[in-house]
Amino acid sequence: MDWGMKNRMSRLIKPEDGRAVWLAVDHGYFLGPLSKLEEPAQTIKPLLPYTDALMLTRGVLRNCVDAGLDIPVILRVSGGNSIVGPALSNEAIQTSVEEAIRLNASAVAFSIYIGTEHEHQTLIALGNLVSEAERYGIPVLAVTAVGKELQKRDARYLGLCCRIAAELGARMVKTYYCEDFERVVKSCPVPLVVAGGPKLKTKMDALRLAHAAVNEGARGVDMGRNIWQADNAVGVIKAIRKIVHDNASVKEAAKLL
Ligand code: R5P
């Protein structure tokens, strides 16, 4: 691995413990101004001290984040779909690698939609993105998207998606936690992080999810709604950090809520 790639990867996944807490605030690219992310700058600011990396689009980065930011950026480069459009899976590259370099991104993120009518399109685009980003030492994070079909989140399907993403060259994969998650981790040769998905019933559920995921082999989380849609977002991210970086139990971490 070249120095630039190694350096970017080590800014994202902390070399001290091989773990990561990333804050995902890229949802607006297809969901628009969803609840608690209507004004991204306000949502993001208090959470920054507890975040290892920020995942977002170029629009929110330029307009809502101070350029003095000392936290690596994972730039969402796929899109072209919307929640009211005909197919959520119809994504393509909407931000170039050149733009990612201009924005000093540490990684670029791209969603793949396996098992949908746009499977081929998103997989070929992922492969092409990897070929281009690798030229500049920029890691690609593949996101195993399920669109509205949340029930797809089982080990067989996610294992398939993660493995294909890694085979096509993604340096890291973001997926969902599921029953039998260890199976997904075992068959994926690159680091995995988990998304939180739609807001769970309680904050404790979010902590349980993070705890189970890292204990079953995830490197950490790339979490959004379960952090910033919570009534005590700072408490939640602190508790998640404690679980991911300090191997805290859910009970111990919950004291930070
Ligand atoms: C999809 O909207 C994005 O890829 C999110 O970054 C991802 O789903 C993680 O956010 P959440 O924890 O809210 O699912």
List phi, psi (to 5°) of 75. Answer: -90, 120
Residue count (the chain) = 257
Inside any domain, residue 49: yes
Q: Residue 160 — very low, low, confident or very high, per pLDDT cuts 50/70/90?
A: very high
Inside any domain, residue 132: yes
> Which residue's alpha carbon is nearest to atom 2 within ligand 1?
27
Tell me the best of 176, 203, 222 to mutate to test the pocket of ligand 1, counting ligand atoms within 8 Å of each CB and taking the most: 222
Q: Tell me the pLDDT tens digit for each residue of 134-157.
A: 999 999 999 999 877 778 889 999
> By CB neighbour count within 10 A (0-12 exposed, 13-18 middle, 19+ buried), where does 5 fall?
middle
- For the chain, how many structural domains are there in total? 1
Distance 27 CA to ligand 1 centre (A): 6
Distance 51 CA to ligand 1 centre (A): 15
Q: Is the CB of 24 under 6 A from ligand 1?
A: yes
3-state DSSP assignment of residue 193: strand
Report the amino acid identity of residue 5: M
Indicate whether this model's pTM tops 0.85.
Answer: yes
In this structure, what CATH number is given to the domain that contains residue 88? 3.20.20.70
Is 216:185 a contact under the CB 8 Å cutoff? Answer: yes
Inside any domain, residue 57: yes
Inside any domain, residue 232: no
Inside any domain, residue 87: yes
Residue 63 CB neighbours (<10 A): 10
What does the alpha-carbon distance between residue 19 and residue 6 come to, in Å, rounded to a whole number? 15
Minimum-distance ligand 1 atom for the alpha carbon of 199: 13
Q: Is the CB of 225 under 6 A from ligand 1?
A: yes
Distance 176 CA to ligand 1 centre (A): 10
Query: Whole domain around residue 174: which residue ranges?
Result: 3-192
Q: Tell me the pLDDT tens digit for each residue of 72-121.
A: 999 999 999 999 999 999 999 999 999 999 999 999 999 999 999 999 99
Inside any domain, residue 234: no
Angle, in degrees to the nearest 10, between helices 203-215 and 233-246: 20
Inside any domain, residue 214: no
Q: Tell me the pLDDT tens digit for each residue of 39-58.
A: 999 999 999 999 999 999 99
Inside any domain, residue 48: yes
Please confirm, yes or no, whether 174 is among the known catalytic residues. yes
